[in-house]
Amino acid sequence: MPGQEQQEDWRNSLAWRLFLAIGLPVAGLLGGLILYLDDPAAGRSLMPCLFYQMTGIHCIGCGTTRALHALLHGDLAAAVSYNVFMLIWLPLPIYALLAVWLRALTGRPLLPAIRDWRWLMIILLVSGVLFFILRNLPWEPFNWLAP
């Protein structure tokens, strides 16, 4: 396929690899620094949840900014209390971004590829829907899931 070959050439170009090799760590460090310095639990938030503001229902992402802030400060208990779902699934995007970054640095894949993304996405979807339902139930033991 000519389109696929052209896409592979673009992905392997030196400019794209330099952009990723420099851009991913810089974006990660800047994002981490902003999350580290600005405490969203202090009343102001970088990104208020529009879904919660409009419906009063907690989405699966509610509490993620506060959880990441707590995680960066080493407070695992607080991070779990804000959004346990995010903490369970956080290694997946970290692994994927690390694989992209290492490939950009070396020009070849160093980390093994995730073989079956389809099943992983199905599990993510099912667990996300289940977490969404359970965190909005008003009784014990589920009400602790709300941020």
Do residues 35 and 42 lie in contact, with contact meaning Cβ atoms separated by under 8 Å?
Answer: no
Per-residue model confidence as pLDDT tens digits over 77-86: 999 999 999 9
Instruction: pLDDT band for 40, please (50, 70, 90 cuts).
Output: confident
Burial of 134 (0-12, 13-18, 19+ CB in 10 A): middle
- In 3D space, the residue among 96, 40, 88, 37 whose CA is nearest the CA of residue 63 turns out to be 40
Got the DSSP string for 117-131? HHHHHHHHHHHHHHH
Gap between the Cα atoms of 39 and 34, Å rounded: 9
Asked whether the predicted pLDDT for residue 2 surpasses 60, the reply is: no
Q: What angle do CA 87, 91, 96 make, to 5 degrees?
A: 145
- In 3D space, the residue among 46, 28, 30, 36 whose CA is nearest the CA of residue 90 turns out to be 28
Asked whether the predicted pLDDT for residue 51 surpasses 80, the reply is: yes
DSSP reduced 3-state for 65: helix
What is the overall mean pLDDT for the chain?
87
Gap between the Cα atoms of 43 and 86, Å rounded: 21
